[in-house]
Amino acid sequence: MALEAMHHEDAKMSEAHEARSSQWIPSRFAPLRALVIQTSVLGLMFVALLVFAFAHHQASAQESAPARTTEVVTTNVPVSRLPGVGLAGFVRDAAGPVAGATVRVATTENKTTTIADGSFVLTGIQGSAPFTVTAWAPGYYVGWAALQPDGPELKMGQPVSITLKLHYTTDNLDYEWFSFEGVKGSKSCALCHTQNPEWEADAHSQAAVNPRFLTMYEGSDVKGRLSPLTKFGDAGNALPPDPAKPYYGPGFKLDYPNRAGNCAACHTPLASRISNVQNCAWSGCHIDLTTERSQGLVPLGPSPLNLTGDAAEGITCDFCHKIGDVYLDPHTRLPQPDMPGILSYRLYRPAEGQQLFFGTFDDIPRRVSYLPLQSESAFCAPCHYGVFGGIVGAGHVTGGVTIYNSYGEWLESPYSDPVTGKTCQDCHMPTVDYDYIVFPERGGVKRSGDRIHNHQMPGAADEQFLQNSVTMTVTARFQGNALVVDVSITNDKTGHHIPTDAPMRHMMLEVRAQDTLGFSLLLRGGSLLPAWAGNLAGRPGRGYAKILRDDWTGETPTSAYWRPVTIVEDTRLAAFATDSSRYIFDLPAAGRGAVVDARLVFRRAFQELMEQKGWTDADVLMEQERVEVKAEVKVETGKEPVFGGCYCRCGDGMP
């Protein structure tokens, strides 16, 4: 989330550097200054040289006791247009010139880049109100200079000076997550930022309290009733549940009651302050007894259960905006399989007196640094790629099974093309129809809505999103002595397989045929939905899922993917893939037409598992189509009537 309302460094620092800069004017600006003076003598003619606008920012209070937040630009007065002119200046840090810095007229697309000596020239400056020019380079906070249209930079050609400050590069494990004006956690962001309600409706904010996640981890149902602990045979394999005892589905803690597992690394990264540089604790593979006897060498693995405070917020605003880098294997371009979630992120948690937020804007002069990575799919990779099982080594997992892989699927698809493709953010964080990221009463200024991104991040829980994922076409015709139905489903709007990630998710295509009086037509050829389709099992159609087999018990499909498993079938649709299927039904009685209904349904989990856990997520109707085949009677002299047919589409409804 953009953190435009955070307090900036003392504005007086900029004024001091500006005073020093008057003694340092690069020779490349001398002709420009002479021109300004000459133009001034001639009465400035028709151009007010180097006019540049922005509202002056009020100095903020100390970070330790923040006052009311404001933005640098506080005016919403329309800017009257004047012929564009130029502005010269330089960007430097404590050591000297900064080359390659992005210099921008704040909140606009008017920008340039500094050259080797740190100098820049911005052309096309327009307006008659105060403006701010900002500068940013990798490793620095955003710097700025607030200018007045009648200031020396504009009237006399004095170069504007912007001094950048390096941000810290350390990570403080003892950091108390962000609070503001006495409000803790992500609620503190809501004081200023418009996107907070979006995040609260997003699955990331629910990661620590998601009932599907928690009941699968704990081995309970939604009422808190626990299944019995798993019993193991002499060979070390888990035995099937005892049918004489109540069973509420599988659970990681039923199989491994003395281990934490690695679930917290993605779902609840605020659950612990242990280091994320090495994976010993976050992977959760050591039993509690090992931790106790290690004399502090092996930290206790983080548990996602019974969390409070910031940790119970799942993937928070502050967590995402403290990420400064992602560690990917240069060969596979994927995270290391033994480093899920937080283990593949570089965090910049501040020490006392420090603060830093990474964002997608390079013109917000607060405790902010621009991070292009936040607009790249790689930012999502650590939590959307997961290998389970096998033998964990340094940087690799031998014999593991890739369970979560939406990032890898995207990487292998045409969507990953840097020129013609799309990023995760393009689809899951679309631009908005409003023009503030900070409430106006908190100092927010207007920005183009196509630079602001929605933080609701729709996915598998969003019905409208699912209904805009694939395209289904249905045709039907009488051919010989049968009704022939062809169905094709194309994944033409999704940058990864569909469904993706959690292997319990699946889609089901159901095809029904009736005559015009409502009598069902018997299927003579074509596939049937499998047993795992629950109430739709055995009906004409197809299933789309990644099916896992439990190598201990043979259960298929299984959703206990933390156990040794084998992928026995993967019928999901890759990006731009098409699945075609044909169904042959009996002809209707003479003189009757036929009606074919096809529908594609998304289900969050296998029905048997949902019933065990008490989950009540409704099916989502992704696509539906009805095709009517009309009967025609052809009578030829001296011959018996011949019944033929054609097909037409006649509405969207299902009977």
Tell me: the pLDDT tens digits for 173-230?
999 999 999 999 999 999 999 999 999 999 999 999 999 999 999 999 999 999 999 9
pLDDT of amino acid 560: 97
- The segment(s) of the chain belonging to CATH 2.60.40.1120 are 11-163
Contacts of 17 by beta carbon, 8 Å cutoff, 6+ apart: 161, 162, 163
pTM: 0.84
Of 44 and 262, the structure prediction assigns the larger pLDDT to 262
pLDDT of amino acid 392: 82
- Cα(586)–Cα(478) distance, integer angstroms: 10
Tokens standing for residue 305? 């259960």
The 10s digit of each residue's pLDDT in 423-436 is: 999 999 999 999 99
Q: How confident is the model at residue 636 (pLDDT cuts 50, 70, 90)?
A: low
Of 8 and 588, the structure prediction assigns the larger pLDDT to 588
Domain covering 11-163: architecture: Sandwich (2.60)
pLDDT beyond 50 at 73: no
Average pLDDT over residues 161-168: 97
Computed over every residue of the chain, the mean pLDDT equals: 85
pLDDT of amino acid 633: 59
Provide the Cα torsion 358, 344, 575, 267; round to 10°: -80
- Cα(655)–Cα(643) distance, integer angstroms: 25
- Strand extents, DSSP E, 233-339: 323-326
> Is 463-649 in CATH node 1.20.1070?
no
Phi, psi (5° rounding) for residue 386? -150, 125
Q: Which of the 8 DSSP states describes residue 637?
A: T
The 10s digit of each residue's pLDDT in 537-574 is: 999 999 999 999 999 999 999 999 999 999 999 999 99
pLDDT of amino acid 634: 56
Average pLDDT over residues 284-298: 80
Provide the Cα torsion 458, 464, 466, 468; round to 10°: -110
- Cα(482)–Cα(560) distance, integer angstroms: 43
The 10s digit of each residue's pLDDT in 505-520 is: 999 999 999 999 999 9
Average pLDDT over residues 461-471: 96
Contacts of 396 by beta carbon, 8 Å cutoff, 6+ apart: 336, 337, 338
Average pLDDT over residues 367-378: 97
Q: How confident is the model at residue 283 (pLDDT cuts 50, 70, 90)?
A: confident
- Cα(275)–Cα(270) distance, integer angstroms: 12
Whether the CB-CB separation of 338 and 395 falls below 8 Å is answered with yes
Three-class SS string for 75-124?
Answer: CCCCCCCCCCEEEEEEEEECCEECCCCEEEECCCCCEEECCCCCEEEEEE
Tokens standing for residue 136? 């940013």
Whether the CB-CB separation of 80 and 74 falls below 8 Å is answered with no
pLDDT beyond 90 at 361: yes
Phi, psi (5° rounding) for residue 185? 70, -165
pLDDT beyond 70 at 609: yes
The 10s digit of each residue's pLDDT in 319-351 is: 999 999 999 999 999 999 999 999 999 999 999
- Cα(362)–Cα(143) distance, integer angstroms: 9
Tokens standing for residue 217? 């981890």
Whether the CB-CB separation of 472 and 600 falls below 8 Å is answered with yes
